[in-house]
A and B are shown apart, each in its own frame.
Chain A
Amino acid sequence: MKRQTSRTPLYALLAVVVIVIIVVAAGYYAGWFKGSSSNSSPGTCAPPAGGTIKGAGSTLVYPLMFQWESVYGGGTAVNYESVGSGAGITDFTQKTVDFGASDAPLSPAQRTALPATALTIPESAGGVVPLYNLPGVPTLSFNGTILADIYLGTITNWNNTALQTLNAGVSLPNATIQVVYRSDGSGTTFIWTSYLSAESSTWASMYGKGTSVTFPVGSGQPKNAGVAGYVQKTQDAIGYVDLNYALNSGVAFGKVENPAGKYILASVNNTQSALKDVNPTLPTGTGDWYNVSVLNAPGVTDYPITSLTYVFAYQDLSGAYGGSYTLTQAETLVDFLYWVVTTGQGYSGTLYYVPLPASIVTADEASIASITFNGQAVPNTCGSTV
């Protein structure tokens, strides 16, 4: 008992420290320290006074979304939670948010689960790159078949013949490949497995594409940071991360063969040109986007593993959310969406996201224009006049 009394001050101190940390962290998330955003909105459009909207979903797009939400309308109009693409779709389906964000389009099952007609609006784009840890080995080249075989577990050693043939002159170690994948469901996994499915019929039939796939070999790490960190720490490892993450964190990654037979080291430029060249036939905003693919662009300099990321919004806002939804909310949402696909794209480059090509922006604007409130088009300041 005496011991305990002598320990009490220490515990009290500890408790105070812990509480302070918790409060500061909570405050950080609540935006106490954001201050008034010094850089005002560069476009002419501004949200209606007092309007606030909520979004949830993709972590891939979060750095860009964070930038958007802190710039747009002085930083108070939009509140985005990066809870993950799947959770974002769930929140959107349950109508607890004004928009959902996901790196994978809605699957047919997810579409039927929606309570009302929703629009699929691509809001940014990116690429996925293979990174590996082989000290002293120069930049390696991969192709779709080899990447699929590594992830299928049919290629297990770095000095595999196919890999060696592709990288003639490079001395590859006789070492087991340590495969790493995303353990949490993620849009990055969706893009990666879409690519593997496109390149390998075995992969397509056995595992397919999805945000959450049961990988046959390897170990799972959470988030981009987990995969990149593991690869950097583990000799002989291979993993996949988003291009913007790889470029931001400076990890080395490999070249991938494109359909023109060239080996391309991903960059914002060759991902953007790929999106332009692939020119996918897009469904209408309310259509089924599940099979939209921007992989394997035909251009000689195009990077092959590219993808769009999406936001979802209900087309008839008053119908979907009911009477408590205000016109101000609707205006804020429509305004924000217009701003994101136009002015907002200007923020992509510095964060290593890929701006949308003009054809997709046009399609987006048509979708946003079809949003209604009480049967009427929603007035806004950012529309086609921008």
Chain B
Amino acid sequence: MDPTTTSPPTKARRSSGRWGDLVFLGLVSAGGLFVIFLLFGIAAILIDQSRLAFNAYGVGYLVGTRWDVSAQVYGAVPFIAGTLITSAIALAIGFPLAFGSALFLTTQAPRWLRGPVGTVIELLAAIPSVVYGFWGLYFLGPYMRTSVEPVLHRYLGWTGGFNGNATGTDILTAGVILAIMVIPTISAISRETLAAVPTSQKEAALSLGATNWEVTRTAMIPYARSGVFGATILGLGRALGETMAVTMTIGNHDAVPTSFFSQGQTIASLIANELTNSAGPLQYSAIIYAGVILLAISLLVNVVARLLLWRVLRVSGGSVE
């Protein structure tokens, strides 16, 4: 950055070059340390602001199933459940599509198709989440209500998970929206790890007479497995924290969901909906406490994902994102 560091090595310039190095070192390490400080700062503020609720409920908050603003009783189970269930639906629907597309692009698609299709999948990530939410509210929700949910109820109603009033703004719709939103993340990183499988590995399988499918199954998937797993966990991280699209489609009801057709609330949508207009310091603090839980879950998920990806990509020297 500092132009003097690239100057010709005259004696006077060289000493200013050393100063440049020092300034550069100072700036860069200040930047790096500040980012770390930010993370701790955010966590510290959140924990501090959640103290009131923590003192009132302690760890019992994590198992409290009732959230009642009028009675000033707060428990996090409705939101933890909403968050985990919608994310699980997202992965259950999103993973097969994303992994399938990654396999298609790395093993089956003609070379000229790979770039365009890959770009289009990644473009899904460029759509703002409010647009997904809008689409979910005005198209997907009504469609789920009139066409999908009655069918699910008829054939799967006996499981108990697909009962109740089909409204189209519920846990299931939010999960489907999230599935679409996690596809680009999972697909892109899965492709990276599949592409990182050494050619020697594939050639070895081919030389043993393996078919295309057998090469994929025996040489590529085992090699890329933990990378794909890491990609899935990263997708999970995105699903856990997604706010706008979920808020617009989940129904925002502060109760533990009893079926996939229940209205619910995730921790992120709870914060979006109720924080700025909380009815008092205890509710405010309880919402922040939920935020701390979300932060903890997200950090854990991301650390696991990074570790898994690091193990795979270290070998091939590839890079993630």
| B70-A234 in contact (CB<8A) | no
Which residue on chain B has the smallest CB distance to residue A2? B115
- In the bound complex, residues from chain A placing their C-beta under 8 Å from that of B114 are 3
Majority SS at the chain A contact face: mixed
B148 → chain A closest CB, angstroms: 15
B167 near A233: Cβ-Cβ < 8 Å: no
* A185 engages B277 (CB within 8 Å): yes
Q: Check B276–A185 contact: CB distance below 8 A.
A: yes
The CA of A271 and the CA of B118, in the complex, are separated in Å by 58
Answer yes or no: A214 CB below 8 A from chain B CBs: yes
B68 at the interface (CB under 8 A from A): yes
Within 8 Å of chain A (Cβ to Cβ): is B51? no
Report which of A14, A184, A220 forms a contact with B251, defined as CB distance below 8 A: A220
Output the nearest chain A residue to B66 by Cβ-Cβ distance: A214
Distance (whole angstroms) from the CB of A199 to the closest CB of chain B? 16
What is the chain A residue whose CB lies nearest that of B264?
A219
Binds B, one of A78-86, A292-300, A350-358: A78-86
Tell whether, in the assembled complex, residue B276 and residue A176 are in contact, meaning their CB atoms are under 8 Å apart: no
Within 8 A of B (CB), among A1-56: 3, 6-7, 10, 14, 18
Asked whether, in the complex, the Cβ of A222 is within 8 Å of the Cβ of B248, the reply is yes
Q: How far is the CA of A208 from the CA of B280 in the complex (A)?
A: 15
Verify if B83 is at the interface (C-beta below 8 Å from A).
no
Interfacial residues of chain A within 195-231, with CB under 8 A of chain B in the complex: 206-208, 210-215, 218-222, 226, 229-230
Contact with A along B136-168 (1 / 0, CB 8 A): 011001100100000000000000000001011
CB-defined contacts of A176 to chain B, threshold 8 Å:
165
Q: Which of A184, A206, A220 has the most CB of B within 10 A?
A: A220
Q: Is B59 an interface residue (CB 8 A)?
A: no
Tell me if A14 and B126 are in contact (CB < 8 A). Answer: yes
Are B115 and A6 in contact (CB-based, < 8 A)?
Answer: yes
Chain A residues in 8 Å Cβ range of B138: 229, 233
A219 and B251 contact, CB distance less than 8 A: yes
Q: Give the distance to chain B from A77, nearest Cβ to Cβ, in Å.
A: 26
Q: Is B204 an interface residue (CB 8 A)?
A: no
A219-B253, A233-B138 known; A183+B273 contact, CB < 8 A: yes
Complex alpha-carbon distance, A7 and B138, angstroms = 32
Kindly state the separation between the CA atoms of A86 and B265 in the bound complex, as whole angstroms.
20
Q: Does B283 contact A (CB under 8 A)?
A: yes
A267 at the interface (CB under 8 A from B): no
Determine if B280 and A222 form an interchain contact, defined as CB atoms under 8 angstroms apart. Answer: no
Q: By the criterion CB–CB under 8 Å, are A83 and B276 in contact?
A: yes
Q: Give the number of residues in A that approach B within 8 Å (Cβ atoms).
A: 40
* B119 A185 Cβ-Cβ under 8 A: no
A222-B277 CB under 8 A given contacts A214-B70, A215-B253? no
Q: How many residues on chain B are close to A (CB under 8 Å)?
A: 39
Known contacts A6-B115, A10-B119, A184-B273; decide if A86 and B278 are in contact (CB<8 Å): yes
B residues within 8 A CB of A214? Answer: 67-71, 254
Which A residues, 149 to 194, have Cβ-Cβ distances below 8 Å to chain B? 176, 178, 183-186
Q: Give residues 217-261 of B contacting A (CB, 8 Å).
A: 247-248, 251-254
Whether, in the assembled complex, A137 has its beta carbon less than 8 Å from a beta carbon of chain B, the answer is no
| C-alpha gap A176/B118 in the complex (Å) | 44
Q: Are B119 and A230 in contact (CB under 8 A)?
A: no
Q: Are A212 and B252 in contact (CB under 8 A)?
A: no
Whether A278 is near chain B, meaning CB under 8 Å from some CB there, is no
Residues of chain B within 8 A (CB-CB) of A212 are 69, 274, 277-279, 283
Is there contact, CB below 8 Å, between B280 and A109?
yes
In the complex, A117 Cα to B265 Cα: how many Å? 38
Judge if B65 is at the interface, Cβ distance under 8 Å. no
Question: Which residues of B lie under 8 Å from residue A85 when comparing CB positions?
Answer: 277
Is A264 an interface residue, CB under 8 A from the partner?
no
Q: How far is the CA of A234 from the CA of B263 in the complex (A)?
A: 15
Q: Does B50 contact A (CB under 8 A)?
A: no
Q: How far is the CA of A206 from the CA of B70 in the complex (A)?
A: 8
A116 at the interface (CB under 8 A from B): no
Q: Are A234 and B69 within 8 A (Cβ)?
A: no
Among candidates A90, A185, A234, residue contacting B167 with C-beta atoms closer than 8 Å: A234
Q: Which residues between 111 and 169 of chain A lie within 8 Å of chain B, taking CB atoms?
A: 113
B169 at interface, CB cutoff 8 A: yes
Nearest residue, chain B, Cβ from A7: B119
Flag whether A247 is at the interface (Cβ < 8 A).
Answer: no
For residue A369, which residues in chain B have a CB less than 8 angstroms away from its CB?
Answer: none
Inter-chain CA distance A39–B77, complex, in Å, is: 54
Given A210-B69, A234-B142, are A84 and B276 neighbors across the interface (CB < 8 Å)? yes
State in angstroms the CA–CA spacing of A316 and B126 once bound together: 51
Cβ-defined contact, B252 with A219, below 8 A: yes
Chain B residues positioned under 8 Å from A183 (CB to CB): 247, 252, 269, 273-274
Neighbouring B residues of A210 by C-beta, 8 Å: 69-70, 279
**CA distance in complex: A184, B247 (Å):** 10
| Interface residue? A252 (CB, 8 A) | no
Among B137, B170, B276, B281, which residue has its beta carbon within 8 angstroms of that of A87? B276
* Contact partners of A84 in chain B: CB under 8 A: 276-277
Contacts of A3 in B (CB 8 A): 114-115, 118
Q: Which residues of A contact B69 (CB under 8 A)?
A: 210, 212-214
Q: Which 6 pairs of residues, A with B, have the shortest CB-CB distance?
A: A185-B277, A220-B252, A86-B277, A183-B252, A219-B251, A87-B276
A-B contact pairs, 10 of them (CB 8 A): A3-B118, A83-B276, A84-B277, A87-B276, A176-B165, A183-B269, A211-B277, A212-B69, A220-B251, A234-B167
Question: What residues of chain B have their CB less than 8 Å away from a CB belonging to chain A?
Answer: 67-71, 114-115, 118-119, 126, 137-138, 141-142, 145, 165, 167-170, 247-248, 251-254, 263, 265, 269, 272-274, 276-281, 283
